[in-house]
């Protein structure tokens, strides 16, 4: 393991434009359950109940969605950045961070102090809510206060439209502007570091592959194997927080 850590140190030292690609495995080390893993959200709820088209067309689906989402939001709101989040901030402080592309919706990179213009939340954020009709934006805590007061399905106070957290649901289109920006950074980076992602959720998972195809080296830190392991310059199967923390302590 020490030899792998040393290789990671050398990789980061040699790189000038680093793209960090983040998955749920980073958040689980801050106590946020992974949707797909045993004990995660999908062990308690049926994912098909939260399809975007069902959310829009079925009031009962909206009620169930807000029940699930509120439960999950409480955990995220109380979560704090772990050693890996703080290590990514150190990459920015060192002038090496091109951008963070995160599949997570938990706002932890903001809490860690990374510049908002460096953070691309490819699957959106749970910390804001928008009206699907008039696009009026709301702070998530304002909507949570309504739910705590007994409202089971919040609606827009401007146009009575459907409100939804600014996250990408099953069946909902990915934000094309964020995908375009992410792929641009993938084309420009000289090192792509994958942290805590299984690299099986597309189209987001295409970003590290595109970086590699564009000439960047690929470093993967994840507890489990990924489809890109055999193509990566360095793979470490261990705790993301512990591993990246050890690497950045030496830089």
| Active centre residues (catalytic) | 123
Q: For residues 42 and 46, what is the distance between their CA atoms, to the nearest angstrom?
A: 6
Residue 129: which of 147, 110, 156 has the closest Cα?
A: 156
Give the rounded distance of the alpha carbon of 85 from its chain centre: 12
Number of other residues whose CB lies within 10 A of the CB of residue 153: 17
Separation of alpha carbons 141 and 143, rounded Å: 5
CA distance 92 to 98: 8
What SS3 state is found at 190? Answer: coil
Please tell me whether the peptide bond between 92 and the residue prior to it is cis, using omega within 30 degrees of 0.
Answer: no
């Amino acid at each position: 393991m020490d030899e792998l850590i040393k290789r990671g140190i050398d990789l980061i030292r040699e790189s000038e434009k680093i793209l960090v690609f983040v998955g749920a495995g980073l958040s689980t080390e801050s106590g946020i359950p992974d949707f797909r893993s045993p004990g995660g959200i999908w062990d308690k709820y049926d994912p098909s109940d939260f399809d975007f088209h069902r959310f829009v067309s079925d009031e009962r689906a909206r009620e169930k969605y807000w029940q699930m989402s509120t439960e999950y939001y409480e955990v995220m709101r109380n979560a704090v950045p772990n050693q890996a989040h703080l290590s990514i901030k150190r990459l920015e402080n060192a002038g090496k961070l091109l951008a963070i592309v995160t599949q997570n919706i938990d706002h932890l990179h903001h809490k860690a102090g990374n510049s908002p213009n460096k953070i691309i939340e490819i699957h959106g954020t749970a910390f804001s809510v928008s009206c699907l009709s008039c696009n009026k934006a709301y702070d998530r805590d304002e909507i949570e206060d309504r739910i705590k007061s007994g409202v089971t399905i919040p609606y827009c106070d401007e146009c009575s439209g459907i409100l939804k957290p600014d996250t990408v649901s099953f069946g909902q289109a990915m934000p094309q502007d964020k995908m375009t920006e992410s792929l641009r950074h993938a084309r420009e980076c000289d090192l792509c570091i994958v942290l805590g992602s299984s690299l099986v959720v597309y189209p987001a998972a295409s970003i590290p592959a595109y970086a590699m195809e564009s000439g960047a080296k690929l470093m993967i830190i994840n507890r489990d194997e990924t489809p890109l392991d055999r193509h990566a310059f360095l793979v470490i199967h261990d705790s993301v927080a512990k591993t990246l923390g050890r690497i950045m302590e030496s830089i």
